[in-house]
A and B are shown apart, each in its own frame.
Chain A
Amino acid sequence: MDKHLANIGSAKTNSAVDAEIRRLTRRSFTVGAVSALAGAAGVGWLATRPGDDGVPWPLRRILEFNERVSQEVFSPRRLAPEFPAASAVEPRLNGHVGLMSPAQLSNWTVHITGKVDRQIPLSAIKALPAYEMTTQLKCVEGWDSIVSWKGVRLADFLSKFGVPSEYIGLSTPPDGQSPTGLPDRFYVGFDQPSALHPQTLLCYEMNGAPLTQGHGAPLRLVSTVKYGYKCIKRIGVVELTEQRPADYWAQRGYDWYGGH
């Protein structure tokens, strides 16, 4: 408040009032216009920053900030609701990267790399305790399907065959090729709490039948704490690492965390 405003109440004549409102109007509209221009300049600056994995870097920092908030505020152990198995449906076939040529399913092994170097046959993975769950698969596009899954916990797999690591990277086989001979690989990165979540399963059955190739045979990941774009199909490699692993969709502008 400045000294002019103090006079408002006592403004006596119509012309004094007119002068005062003109002054107020000039001042407020100037402040408004300058603020609007500053805001527009700020947005312009933000939108033109160099990209960090497909988004302007300040927005990438905010996604990472949101990730930290999520991890602070929420429990990494919270279970997603389960549904009656009868309500399960066949989910949409979505995502073909890493699946462009048919997989040779016989004698499938999963290669653990990074802090260890081991080949784990599929039969050894299937010998781990089996879990079934009927949960909601949520796609980042905005649709969802209730699906029944059967598989082993990634936590059990890691404690049996791996060593503790801050991050877990999963990938389709590194030698994948498209029908035209181009490299074809899909890969995701998981933070440790999400990887160890009891509803993060390495699945080999969907809706009571073995996985089809389109849905990720012979082994795929399903996690109720992540969007579908993290639920990698046709797993060939599990990497145990202390660095945040590369993630196919995160390199294309999506949130690395992708957590619910």
Chain B
Amino acid sequence: MKRLERKHPRPVRWMHWLNVPLLFGMIWSGLLIYWANDEYRIGLGNWTLLHLFPDWFYKALNLDHRLAEGMSWHFAIMWLLAINGICYVTYTFVSGEWRHLLPNRRSFHDAWMVILHDLHLSKVEPPKRKFNGAQQFAYTGVVLMGAGSLLTGLSIYKPTQLAWLTGLLGGYAWARWEHFWITMGYVIFFFIHISQVIRAGWNNFRAMVTGYEVSTSEEAPHG
């Protein structure tokens, strides 16, 4: 027996999808800025696995020599992304959605079971809830990363006016480093998120567009 179930409220869907172009715009303009002093790498001591980023990367995406342009976009889109994030957090609290999203005591065990299952190390199906433990950690974590981007961003945008914040984050250079690596975190989040959405299937994806999921329950016994 099929049934339509309400899953994602309309404001959550809008704010979720708005993040896509806004975050993309921030990362793209951020790369235009980062190019001007691309000092980070993946490595240890004198050994460098990967310089961030190789020249071919900038060339391929046409990111070089566009610092001023990058800043003008970055300092425009920042308003929209920050407002969207603040609206989202406010909405989840006011609506009570946070109860589904915040990890709780059983989320740890739950998340571990999900990871084992998804890596094909365990055959135990994760519990069917709106968000499983792994999702709770991921979606709460990405909101915290958003707060981190906002704070580290502000601290490098206004390092004299917000010197206390810049100092708290380890100084100007460290705050920039943190801002960069949080962004890399979004990229990692993005790839895991997309692959999990593909695994979860159409019904789940459609729910983030329409708000409704089709659930199938066993036919009640006739008798």
Contacts and interface: CB of A to CB of B under 8 A. Distances in A.
Contacts of B1: 14
Instruction: Say whether chain B's binding surface is mostly helix, strand, loop, or mixed.
Output: helix
Contacts of A81: 163, 167
Contact of B158 (A21, A28, A60, A260): A260
B72 A60 contact: yes
A17 interface: yes
A142 interface: yes
Interface stretch (A72-80, A102-110, A178-186, A204-212): A72-80
A253 B39 CA distance: 23
Given A11-B3, A20-B4, A78 B161 contact: yes
A253 B72 contact: yes
A21 B172 contact: no
A191 interface: no
A254 B177 CA distance: 23
B75 A62 contact: yes
A260 B159 CA distance: 6
Given A28-B209, A63-B75, 7 more contacts: A17-B3, A62-B75, A62-B76, A74-B158, A142-B37, A225-B160, A253-B72
A144 B160 CA distance: 13
Contacts of B36: 140-142
B158 A70 contact: yes
- Interface size, B (range): 35 or more
B161 A70 contact: yes
A119 interface: no
B161 A75 contact: yes
Interface string B99-129: 0000000000000000000000000000000
Nearest to B208: A28
B138 to A, nearest CB: 23
B68 A260 contact: no
Contacts of A43: 21
Interface of B: 1-4, 6, 17, 21, 33-34, 36-37, 39, 67-69, 71-73, 75-76, 79, 158-161, 163, 167, 172-173, 176, 206, 209-212, 214
A92 to B, nearest CB: 10
25 contacts: A8-B4, A11-B3, A14-B2, A17-B214, A18-B2, A24-B211, A28-B211, A39-B21, A59-B76, A62-B72, A62-B76, A63-B72, A70-B161, A75-B161, A78-B160, A136-B159, A138-B172, A139-B37, A141-B67, A142-B34, A142-B36, A142-B37, A142-B39, A143-B173, A255-B71
A235 to B, nearest CB: 22
B169 to A, nearest CB: 13
B212 A144 contact: no
